[in-house]
């Protein structure tokens, strides 16, 4: 096994910022540094990992708010999400005000990702799946070898992402989950954007929104 992961809940919205690293080379990435950058830096130091990139699943401020500060601090690039989220990644400062929060910064200078792209660090490869519905430019990071996915706000243990935000769409989200995620396999353990981890198989069996029994009836 080469992929390791640790989850750090950040911001008042308890967003799961994830550090992934290769235990053979100690090279790693930070996914969704939504805020609380000092906490993230502390975790990086504790693990002793050499962070090469910051990755973003989608544009919501609780997932991207700390990206600019962390990128500056570590001198690393910001990669993702899909370009269809540009209307959100550039409005972080305005969006957080609606929640009476501050400190997050608009994302600039990032590289966009698309379906089929891959991210490499050390001996680990992450595959990119484009999963619109919660936001139009939402992507999922998936590691085949370890059967692990970071799915952001697409899917939760016992739930699915909200679709009442601008350009959210429920049928599109259901389609992303059943047509893009389920085919990756029941054994995949996923880290959602908020809350505990689960597996695709467990959600197919029990999820009240996208379980097999629900969507077949």
The reply on whether position 32 binds Zn ion by CB under 5 A is no
Beta carbon of residue 1, minimum distance to Zn ion (angstroms, whole number)? 28
CA proximity to 3, closest of 111, 149, 137: 149
Q: Counting contacts by CB under 5 A, is residue 180 touching Zn ion?
A: no
- Can you spell out the DSSP letters for 4-49? EEEEEEETTTTEEEEEEEETTT-EEEEE---S-HHHHHHHHHHHT-
Query: According to the binding rule CB under 5 A, does residue 153 interact with Zn ion?
Result: yes
Pairing of strands 159-160, 155-156: antiparallel
Q: Which tokens is 216 given?
A: 């077949």
**Residue 59 Cβ vs Zn ion, minimum distance, rounded to whole Å:** 8
Name the pairing type of β-strands 139-143 and 148-152: antiparallel
Is 60 an interacting residue with respect to Zn ion (CB under 5 A)? yes
Contact between 85 and Zn ion per CB under 5 A = no
CB closer to Zn ion out of 28 and 136: 136
| Piece of the chain touching Zn ion by CB under 5 A; list 84-92, 124-132, 176-184, 185-193 | 185-193
Query: Residue 10 or residue 74: which is nearer to Zn ion going by CB?
Result: 10
Residues of this chain that interact with Zn ion (CB under 5 A) are 60, 62, 153, 193
């Amino acid at each position: 096994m080469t992929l390791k992961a640790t989850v750090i809940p950040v911001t008042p919205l308890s967003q799961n910022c994830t550090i992934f690293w290769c235990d053979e080379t100690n090279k790693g990435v930070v996914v969704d540094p939504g805020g609380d950058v000092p906490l993230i830096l502390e975790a990086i130091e504790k693990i002793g990992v050499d962070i090469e990139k910051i990755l973003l699943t989608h544009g919501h401020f609780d997932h991207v708010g700390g990206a600019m500060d962390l990128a500056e601090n570590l001198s690393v690039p910001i990669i993702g999400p899909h370009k269809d989220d540009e209307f959100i990644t550039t409005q972080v400062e305005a969006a957080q005000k609606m929640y009476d929060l501050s400190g997050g910064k608009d994302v600039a200078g990032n590289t966009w990702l698309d379906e089929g792209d891959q991210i490499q660090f050390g001996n680990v490869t992450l595959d990119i799946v484009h999963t619109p519905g919660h936001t139009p430019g939402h992507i999922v990071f998936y590691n085949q070898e370890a059967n692990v996915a970071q799915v952001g706000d697409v899917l939760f243990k016992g739930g699915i992402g909200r679709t009442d935000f601008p350009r959210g769409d429920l049928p599109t989200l259901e389609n992303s989950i059943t047509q893009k995620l389920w085919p990756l396999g029941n054994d995949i353990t996923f880290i959602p954007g908020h809350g505990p981890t689960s597996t695709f198989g467990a959600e197919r069996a029990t999820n009240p929104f996208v379980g097999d029994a629900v969507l077949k009836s």
